[in-house]
Amino acid sequence: MTVRRRRSSMVALALAVSAGAMLGCGGPIGPFPGGRLSGEVGPADASDWSAWADEETIQIETNPGDPHSVTTWFAAIGPSFYVPTSMILGPDEPAEREWVANVEADPRVRIRLAGIVYERTAVKLPAGSEYDRALAALDAKYEQTPADRAPEREVWIYRMDPRGS
């Protein structure tokens, strides 16, 4: 990540934390996990994510019985919406993250993008061409290369399908 983009991300994070604290919005604030996401519920059949291509992050809520939400990266390719496990920070093993363990136990998630909440089912991608395309889109969006990741880091990618798909 370039220094300018990193600095811009830090400013955006500081503003998000301040705004979240003042507005009392549901969900995570910056790097700190939260609970149930608040916001207008979007259509179940949303499939055109191009309007949000410039958004840096989303919030994802897991564990419907006791909601846990975090801020994370995403990429969209056509109608498909992808969320990776940690690509550069945190545990090398994805299941060591609470939100990932929650998704593995119950794939029903909610994502908040630009203030709109979408109910989805997280589908873990197997190795193959769709995984490779999604990882390439994530790397391009966040200016990453495989060399930016520790060799032992495993990255899982979930496709966020509409519920009932």
* Amino acid making up residue 13: L
Q: Is residue 82 within 8 Å of 133, Cβ to Cβ? A: no
Nearest residue to 52 (alpha-carbon basis) of 74, 36, 31: 74
More confident residue, 8 or 81: 81
Q: 3-162 in CATH: which number?
A: 2.30.110.10
Long-range contacts of 76-81 (CB under 8 A, 24+ apart): 76/49, 76/50, 76/52, 76/137, 77/133, 77/134, 77/137, 79/47, 79/48, 79/49, 80/130, 80/134, 80/159, 81/49, 81/111, 81/120, 81/159, 81/160
pLDDT surpasses 80 at 16:
no
pLDDT surpasses 70 at 165:
no
Alpha-carbon distance of 12 to 6, in angstroms, equals 10
Looking from the CA of 115 toward its CB, the CA atoms found within 13 Å total: 5
Mean of per-residue pLDDT scores for the chain: 86
Token digits of residue 149: 């990741």
Alpha-carbon distance of 156 to 53, in angstroms, equals 21
The domain limits of the chain are 3-162
pTM value is 0.81
Token digits of residue 153: 């880091």
Q: Is residue 44 within 8 Å of 95, Cβ to Cβ? A: no
Instruction: Give the model confidence (pLDDT) of 113-152 as tens digits.
Output: 999 999 999 999 999 999 999 999 999 999 998 888 888 8
Taking residues 45-74, what's their average pLDDT? 93
